[in-house]
Amino acid sequence: MTDKKAHRPHNPHGGERFHEERAAYTVASAQPDLQAGITAIRETVKTLKPTPGVYRMLDTRGDVLYVGKARSLKARVANYTQVGNLTNRLQRMVSQCRAMEIVTTNSEAEALLLEAQFIKRFRPPYNTLLRDDKSFPFILLRQGHDFPRIMKHRGARRAKGNYYGPFASAGSVNTTINALQKLFLLRSCTDSFFSNRDRPCLLHQIKRCSAPCTGKIDTAGYDELVREAKDFLGGKSGAVQAKMESQMAKAAEDLDFETAAILRDRLRAATFIQGSQAINATGVGDADVFALANKNGQIAVQAFFVRGGQNWGHRAFFPRNTADQEDGQVLSDVLLQFYEEVPPPRTVLIDRELPEQELMALALEEATKLASDASGKSGGHKVTISIPQRGDRRRLMEQAQRNAVEALDRRLAESGTKAKLNRNLAEFLELSEPPQRIEVYDNSHIQGAKAVGAMVVAGPEGFEKAQYRKFNIKTAQTNDDFGMMREVMERRFRKLAEDSEAGKKNSHETIWPDLLLIDGGKGQMSSVRAVLQELGVAEQVPTIAIAKGPDHGREGREVFHFPDGREKTLPVNSPLLYHLQRLRDEVHRFAIGAHRAKRSRAITASPLDEIPGIGPARKRALLLHFGTAGKVRAASLQDLQRAPGVSEAVAQTIYDFYHAGG
């Protein structure tokens, strides 16, 4: 039987955990030839010119090892052939390099932006990478309607309107939008919901919407609210509040106490928004603040997002692949990747010098122009990167530095706890080493109907949700839980074994797990082991089944079933038991969610969906004309031809579908 560690080099390196150890692991297992790497680089240098551009180093499988930019490609790439001047890390990289790809650019700033795009796309193991690459939420005042809508937005900014952010989390956006609705009474409903209202909805009754859908406010009045909202979000909150205070005082003088009460509630909402800003950003304007903390080679970067003098939240980043990198270079790489997703503000405050600070500012300025061009606007704006020395900005930076240190301390404490849990897990489950990739499996169905198998993945950093997978059960018999688990295992590991043997790459799906955790008992364990033995990989994949034990309704009595039939339990108050329960509960949650989604789709499905060539518009026309799908089935060919939007050919297709074979 092939040893698992020896088998792994056949896998491409798409998973998250390979970014941390892929370089060292490849050297140790494959013994790459340093001279071969130098030769490949020298062959590339012969074709290069002293022009700016981006280079990519590739390994034997064509996977990207490293992405770099250069003012002079010829000089920069040639440096990699001077082995004596390279660190051990760069020597390992060169030893794995077998080819290079080159893209020339018009300027070094353009090369810097292209480098960030390539790093995001390929996530090379020798580049500094952001662990958290999720998109950030924004508040959008959407245009294109007489009564603009306020809404949360995440992703590409294609919709026309005014964007405000970034916010640190969806929760902070939701809280702010709720307060803004009370403050400016702007609608948040969809256009279709808006157009179908004949009376105000609940939001109007609780004083969070001015109800433009039913004419409670005219266009001019609503436009005034929108202007006030733009001023408030754009940093003119003081002027907006002063105006409201004046209006409230006048309403009170005129004995219009109802209007005065409404304005009072709006002012309270404004105070809430400003009071919820835990970090004082007064006088800063539009700026992002970045501070870096380093302890024993572990790095945290704390970011504050300030817009219009208001703090829209903060987030800590923990970049990976930072060994042998100067702190300034790490911060520069983090900024470059961060602003690949988020539009840069006019001011970026940092706590230390960057290696190419002026070039970075020029590249970010170029990014604002490209973003403006993409949205149909012109211009962009100047970006200044600076280290604050005094005043409000310096105090804000000091606060960011304290937060960076605290975030890193928490991270190190959590990592220590996770590492200890993994060591205890390896000892309890009798594994040769702590597992780095755990795959957890379960299935969900109702009496065999709409059955779905589920796989979740846990790594050193927690759950890897991008690597979750669903399996629509196809061949297993109704109500056969064991058969469903066999099908899931067969589909997962047959393809994994075949692709690995052929050296194919398919992202995380060709990474072997260090541990399989099955939600079930002896029966599920037997089913899984039978499939793995049939595929010849049983010895490569440690497998454990977790069952709730004799007191099925009570947690804390879980029984762990081993492949050889042994059983183990853990104390009720064991942290390791809680950790394993979390893994089991996560796959249970994911499986139930997948099953419910499948069941919901089935409920809303129509028999007309199965007819080839019948899209949503024709289906809607047929249902409006005949009333039900059953009447469409019973209709004659002539009746079908009389339906609006149905041609003779389409009518014949529908008729033949239901009457084929007599």
**Residue 186 neighbours by CB under 8 Å, 6+ apart:** 141, 148, 149, 150, 180, 209, 210, 222, 225, 226, 229
The whole-angstrom separation of Cα 556 and Cα 574 is 9
The boundaries of the domain holding residue 644 are: 607-659
Give domain status of residue 235, yes or no: yes
Which CATH number characterizes residue 62's domain?
A: 3.40.1440.10
The whole-angstrom separation of Cα 105 and Cα 111 is 6
Confidence (pLDDT) at 511: 80
Question: Are 118 and 64 in a shared domain?
Answer: yes
Question: Are 82 and 221 in a shared domain?
Answer: no
Question: Are 457 and 588 in a shared domain?
Answer: yes
Number of CB atoms found within 10 A of residue 364's CB? 25
Of 589, 622, 596, residue with least CA distance to 607: 622
For residue 365, the number of C-alpha atoms closer than 13 Å in the C-beta half-sphere is: 13
DSSP single-letter state for residue 306? E
Which CATH number characterizes residue 477's domain?
A: 3.30.420.340
Give domain status of residue 9, yes or no: no
Question: Are 44 and 116 in a shared domain?
Answer: yes
Confidence (pLDDT) at 22: 41
Domain boundary among 231, 253, 275: 275
Indicate the SS3 state at residue 348. Answer: strand
Question: Are 114 and 174 in a shared domain?
Answer: no
Contact 365, 380 (CB under 8 A): yes
The whole-angstrom separation of Cα 341 and Cα 160 is 18
Structure tokens at 83: 């082995």
Give domain status of residue 569, yes or no: yes
Whether the ω angle into residue 166 lies within 30 degrees of 0, i.e. cis, is yes
Confidence (pLDDT) at 3: 39
Give domain status of residue 422, yes or no: no
Give domain status of residue 100, yes or no: yes
Confidence (pLDDT) at 293: 94
How confident is the chain (662 residues) per 10-residue block, as mean pLDDT? 36 39 38 80 93 94 92 94 87 92 93 92 88 75 89 83 81 79 86 86 86 91 88 70 74 74 68 52 78 90 84 85 89 92 90 92 88 66 91 89 90 80 88 90 68 85 84 71 85 78 56 89 88 85 84 67 89 86 88 69 57 74 76 82 81 79 52
Domain total in the chain: 5
Q: Which CA distances in Å does 463 have to 302, 436, 455, 507, 585?
A: 22, 11, 11, 17, 12
Domain boundary among 275, 296, 323: 275
Question: Are 463 and 587 in a shared domain?
Answer: yes
Beta bridge partner(s), residue 348: 288, 385
Report the relative pairing of strands 53-58 and 64-70 from DSSP bridges.
Answer: antiparallel
Question: Are 70 and 45 in a shared domain?
Answer: yes
Confidence (pLDDT) at 276: 47
Confidence (pLDDT) at 24: 40
Give domain status of residue 418, yes or no: no
User: What amino acid occupies position 75?
Assistant: A
Confidence (pLDDT) at 79: 94
Question: Are 265 and 305 in a shared domain?
Answer: no
Which residue's structure tokens are 């010849």? 536
Confidence (pLDDT) at 132: 58
Give domain status of residue 131, yes or no: no
User: What amino acid occupies position 559?
Assistant: V
Confidence (pLDDT) at 104: 94
Which CATH number characterizes residue 651's domain?
A: 1.10.150.20
Question: Are 446 and 589 in a shared domain?
Answer: yes
Question: Are 379 and 472 in a shared domain?
Answer: no
Domain boundary among 394, 410, 426: 410
The whole-angstrom separation of Cα 308 and Cα 362 is 23
Number of CB atoms found within 10 A of residue 649's CB? 9
Question: Are 96 and 174 in a shared domain?
Answer: no
Confidence (pLDDT) at 297: 83
Question: Are 596 and 614 in a shared domain?
Answer: no
**Residue 450 neighbours by CB under 8 Å, 6+ apart:** 595, 598, 599, 602
Give domain status of residue 542, yes or no: yes
